Amino acid sequence: MYELIEKAEIFNVHKMVIKAPEIAHSIQAGQFVIIMGNEYSERIPITVSDWNTDTGAITLYVLELGISTLELARMKVGDSLYVVTGPLGIPSEIKKYGTVALGGGCYGIGGIYPIAKACKEAGNKVISIIEARYSFMFYHEKELHAVSDQVLYATSDGSKGKKGKVEDVIREMLEKGVKIDQAFFIGCTQMLERCSEATRPYAIPTKVALNSIMLDGTGMCGACRVSVGGETKFACVDGPEFDGHKVDWKELNRRRSAYTEQESVIYQSYSHECMAEKKLRGEL
């Protein structure tokens, strides 16, 4: 069983530290796991943000969105996850590029950390750029600072760093003549697309970690099919990182929203159940 040994809530993102020694010993930057909270849960892919081979623990940051992430958010220290499968996906290509810019939003703030760390260890200059709606939504900052030459911020309300998004910071840097040799982005699909558009005119090699819908995570079911440069790829086994300038974003968005109606119906009924439980316990 995969025991939850530490948990913290940063607004709508939940830090979950889970005992998974085999994964902690074999995971590499850019890889993910597929988890199930309980035996009836959906299988969902989550990036591994950090790991410790001494304690056998892995750290995940889960953004609460729908029913599966809500179930995870409700777990308590001492509970166990039913399934943690991995490491999955191809690790990030880490080498000496020169200057590497990494951009992360929502769960991607945690997601870029292991890549930043590995790039720093490979001798690169690392610039990490993170975005959130408000300054209190940032997390994992101390760790990110420790592996970055520079950490730049973007907030929607301007409460920290630049008022705007990661791509605004990137554009400003490029307009000022900062040379970026490689970019990595992790976060929501819109952010990945916008950041790729920002680096395109400068022909900066750009890797984006795609968040297509996944089921088995082994290349068998086809759920995560994406088109990259006109070729069919499966994000779970050929990715999750792809060239952001070649991704068919329209198709990806269409496929990601295939179950929106069902997801919203089930989420509403589940959150009503949670409210009813709370009322019974006298918490409301």
Ligand X SMILES: Cc1cc2nc3c(=O)[nH]c(=O)nc-3n(C[C@H](O)[C@H](O)[C@H](O)COP(=O)(O)OP(=O)(O)OC[C@H]3O[C@@H](n4cnc5c(N)ncnc54)[C@H](O)[C@@H]3O)c2cc1C
Residue (of 167, 241, 176, 246) closest to 199 by Cα position? 167
Give all strands of the β-sheet with 125-132 in edge-to-edge order.
162-163, 150-155, 125-132, 99-105, 182-186, 206-209, 241-243
Nearer to ligand X, 45 or 87 (CB): 45
Considering the complex, state which of residue 123 and residue 222 has its C-beta at the smaller distance from ligand FES: 222
Which of these segments, 43-51, 77-85, 173-181, 243-251, binds ligand X (CB under 6 A)?
A: 43-51
CB nearer ligand FES, residue 32 or residue 113? 32
Of 17, 30, 32, 161, which one interacts with ligand X (CB under 6 A)? Answer: 32
Q: How far is the CB of 215 from ligand X (least distance, A)?
A: 6
67 binds ligand X (CB under 6 A): yes
For residues 165 and 131, the answer to whether their CB atoms sit within 8 Å is: yes
In the complex, the smallest distance separating the C-beta of residue 211 from ligand X, rounded to whole angstroms, is 4
The two three-digit tokens of residue 194, written as one number: 């916008």
Q: Which does 162 bind (CB under 5 to 8 A by kind): ligand X, ligand FES, none?
A: none
- Interactions with ligand X, residue window 75-134 (CB under 6 A): 107, 111
Picking from 48, 140, 42, the residue whose alpha carbon sits closest to that of residue 89 is 48
Q: What is the DSSP letter of 34?
A: E
Are 12 and 75 spatial neighbours (Cβ–Cβ below 8 Å)?
no
Residues 177-236 that bind ligand X (CB under 6 A): 211-214
d(CA 205, CA 180): 9
Residues forming the site for ligand FES (CB under 6 A): 214-217, 219-224, 234, 236
